[in-house]
């Protein structure tokens, strides 16, 4: 198959910086859409994957799965998009389309799902490369329409941070009578607050950072609980129907279990790995409480979220950066100093 060389930023090793590299993109197949990338959000998963925190990275890594761009070419079998359309691509670029999960629009749980980066491009027999690049070629099933009324750069983080919190809010039926708590105010956390607030829920933020209290209230939280303050934690026992935990590293989730109401659920979306310290089953059994996990969201659900964001005027709070500043952005992310998502202006790749 013919390929095209495009400019990108990526890394060759876990301990190397993100630097300019060149990658191959496939020529469009009949169902493909070629997209010039305008903006790409910076997710904490990009950092985990670049640094092989999860142990399954394939190098070179070109991160980026919060993509907004302009269609520049379509294959002859593409029906939903044409050159000039402004579209989005999230964390998924392929799946088997035939398994039970694919048939239920849960492509993210397909055994053969292909991530936007670090997956396997079956056309090229190469790893997939993400959005820190000039352009990307994606099957039209995985390309999304974006609402016309929203800022393009502010839409990008909806494609991962947004859908990752939306999917559990919907799965656990959050609505007007729900009490929702969010752990950690970063990219995912701030989207969760905005979404739960727009769904009509009472929203609480658990944070370690007192300097983020006012921001959380401005984003739509009804209250903030400083998670390191035992008195504040004691004040919210047996309270929440759903907790969305976005913390990226191993942390003690036991204190949060006590704040769930009977039948309440804590959904882990941030940390991937064994819990440390271990989970104490006593409060779970005594209160019929659940600990669950959730991975991004399917394509139909992502489109549902984009439409919801258009209707409720929801975008991400962003700081626009140049691609050349990506390593400093990662350093700031490690210090929880993101307000509340970096988005790369990909025009900077041309300079
Ligand atoms: P982020 O912007 O860096 O935000 C994470 C927030 O968690 C921080 O702002 C901080 O909030 C809190 N935090 C950070 N380190 C902590 C620690 N050691 N202990 C307690 N709290 C801590 O990250 P993000 O982009 O939102 O991503 C969050 C996690 O979700 C990452 O691990 C990412 O890989 C994962 N993720 C999962 C999925 C999925 O499908 N499940 C999808 C996307 C991302 P405070 O200052 O308020 O405490
Ligand atoms: Zn992500
Ligand atoms: Zn499948």
Read off the pLDDT of residues 117-175 as tens digits, 9 standing for 90 and up. Answer: 999 999 999 999 999 999 999 999 999 999 999 999 999 999 999 999 999 999 999 99
**Can you give the pTM of this predicted structure?**
0.98
Res. 5: pLDDT tops 90: yes
Cα 127 to ligand 3 centroid, rounded to whole Å: 19
Give strand pairing partners of 240.
260
Cα 53 to ligand 1 centroid, rounded to whole Å: 14
Res. 227: pLDDT tops 90: yes
Q: How does pLDDT run across 230-256, given as a tens digit for each residue? A: 999 999 999 999 999 999 999 999 999
Which of the four CATH numbers 3.40.930.10, 1.10.238.10, 3.10.180.10, 3.40.50.720 does domain 161-293 have?
Answer: 3.40.50.720
Cα 97 to ligand 3 centroid, rounded to whole Å: 5
Cα 182 to ligand 2 centroid, rounded to whole Å: 17
Q: Which residue among 40, 41, 42, 44 is best mutated to probe the pocket of ligand 1, counting the most ligand atoms within 8 A of its Cβ?
A: 44
**Ligand 1 first shell, C-beta below 6 A:** 43-45, 48, 160-161, 164, 184-189, 207-209, 212, 246-249, 251, 269-271, 294-296, 333, 336, 338
Q: Which residue among 42, 43, 186 is best mutated to probe the pocket of ligand 1, counting the most ligand atoms within 8 A of its Cβ?
A: 186
Res. 113: pLDDT tops 90: yes
Distance CA 120, CA 127 (A): 5
Domain residue limits, the chain: 3-160+317-350, 161-293
Kind of pairing between the strands at 86-89 and 32-42: unpaired
Residue in 110, 105, 250, 221 with CA at minimum distance from that of residue 171 = 105
Res. 8: pLDDT tops 90: yes
Res. 48: pLDDT tops 90: yes
Interior/surface letters 264-276, b for 16+ CB within 10 angstroms, e for the rest: bbbbbbbbbeeee
Confidence of residue 1 (pLDDT cuts 50, 70, 90): confident
The percent of residues above 70 in pLDDT, for the chain, comes to 100
Res. 197: pLDDT tops 90: yes
Given this model, what pLDDT does residue 25 score?
A: 97
CATH architecture for residues 3-160+317-350: Alpha-Beta Complex (3.90)
């Amino acid at each position: 198959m013919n390929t095209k060389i495009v400019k990108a930023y990526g890394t060759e090793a876990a301990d190397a910086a993100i630097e300019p590299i060149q990658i191959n993109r496939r020529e469009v197949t009949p169902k493909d859409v070629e997209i010039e990338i305008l903006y790409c959000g910076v997710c904490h998963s990009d950092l985990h994957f670049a640094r092989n925190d999860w142990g399954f990275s394939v190098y070179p890594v070109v991160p980026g799965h919060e993509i907004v761009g302009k269609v520049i070419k379509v294959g002859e079998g593409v029906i939903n998009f044409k050159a000039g359309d402004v579209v989005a691509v999230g964390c998924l670029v392929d799946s088997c389309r035939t398994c039970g999960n694919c048939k239920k629009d849960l492509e993210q749980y397909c055994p053969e799902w292909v991530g936007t980066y670090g997956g396997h491009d079956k056309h090229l027999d190469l790893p997939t490369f993400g959005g820190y690049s000039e352009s990307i070629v994606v099957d039209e099933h995985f390309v999304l329409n974006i609402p016309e009324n929203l800022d393009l750069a502010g839409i990008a983080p909806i494609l991962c941070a947004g859908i990752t919190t939306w999917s559990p809010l919907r799965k656990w039926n959050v609505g007007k009578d729900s009490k929702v708590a969010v752990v950690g105010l970063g990219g995912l956390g701030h989207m969760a607050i905005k979404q739960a607030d727009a769904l009509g829920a009472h929203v609480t933020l658990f944070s370690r950072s007192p300097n983020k209290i006012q921001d959380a209230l401005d984003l739509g939280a009804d209250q903030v609980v400083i998670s390191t303050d035992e008195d504040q934690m004691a004040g919210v026992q047996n309270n929440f129907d759903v907790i969305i935990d976005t913390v990226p590293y191993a942390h003690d989730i036991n204190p949060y279990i006590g704040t769930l109401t009977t039948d309440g659920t804590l959904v882990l979306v941030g940390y991937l790995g064994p819990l440390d310290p271990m989970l104490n089953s006593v409060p779970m059994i005594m209160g019929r409480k659940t600990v669950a996990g959730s991975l991004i969201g399917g394509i139909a659900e992502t489109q549902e979220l984009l439409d919801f964001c258009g209707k409720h005027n929801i975008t991400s709070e962003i700081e626009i950066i140049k691609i050349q500043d990506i390593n400093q952005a990662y350093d700031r992310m490690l210090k929880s100093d993101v307000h509340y998502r970096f988005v790369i202006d990909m025009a900077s790749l041309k300079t």
